[in-house]
Amino acid sequence: MYGAILNVKFTVVVHSAPYSTQAAASAYRFTKALLEQGHDVYRLFFFGDGVHNTSKLTVVAQDDTNWQQQWDKLIELQKLDSVVCVTSAIKRGIIDEAESARHELGAVSLSSSSEISGLGQLIDATINSDRVINFG
């Protein structure tokens, strides 16, 4: 294992959808690597098209990487704080139980490992993290 001299708190912001650009995959590998090196994730923040990384309604071929599932596993295993921007999410059909009830939609698409919240969570992350990195 790579010896980390100091422990740094990162916030990783994902701006792009998986399967559209490489950005989400890069963000995933970066997040995994920083954890392996003993650093911390203060928060993952999915913004704009990045919210598509948190859809649980995703199907890919057996020989393709399921990025949503990869994120899910990483978030749950490492108990990461994963936030999806509400204004980005609901207009792209990423809906949790509360939004589903509020807008009477009858369906939920957000993976249970992430939560929908406001942009204030991104600002909070800029205040409380040592580094903010954006992938888009």
Partner 1 sequence: MKNSIAVGDDIINLDKEGYLRQLEDWSEEVANLLAKQEGITLQQTHWELIHLLRSFYQRHQLSPANRALVNLVKRELGPEKGKSAYLMGLFGGSPAKISSKIAGLPKPDNCL
Partner 2 sequence: MSTLHTVSKAPSFRLLETCLSIIQAGDAVLFIEDGVYHCQQSTELLRNSEVKFYCLREDLIARGLIDRKLDTIETVNTQGFVDLCVQHDGIVNWF
Partner 3 sequence: MSEINSSKTVSIISRQAPYGSNRAHQSLDIALAAAVFEQAVNYIFMGDGVYQLLGNQNATSIQSKTLVNALETLDLYGIESIFIDSQSLRERNLTPKDLALNASIVSRGEIAKIVRASDSVFNL
Residues classed as catalytic: 85
CA distances from 77 to 8, 32, 46, 97 (A): 19, 11, 18, 23
Asked if residue 10 binds partner 2 (CB under 8 A), the reply is yes
Q: Select from 104, 107, 82 the least CA-distant residue to 94.
A: 107
Q: Please, which residue, 23 or 74, has the CB nearer to partner 3?
A: 23
- Residue 86 partner contact from partner 2, partner 1, partner 3, none using kind-dependent CB cut-offs of 5 to 8 Å: partner 1
Taking the alpha carbons at both ends of the chain, their separation in whole angstroms is 29
We find the least distance from the C-beta atom of residue 52 to partner 2, in angstroms, to be 16
We find the least distance from the C-beta atom of residue 102 to partner 1, in angstroms, to be 6
Asked if residue 33 binds partner 2 (CB under 8 A), the reply is yes
**Secondary structure class of 102 (helix, strand, coil):** helix
Structure tokens given for 60: 């890919």
Residues that bind partner 2 (CB under 8 A): 2, 4, 6, 8, 10, 15, 21-23, 26, 29-30, 32-34, 36-37, 39, 131-136
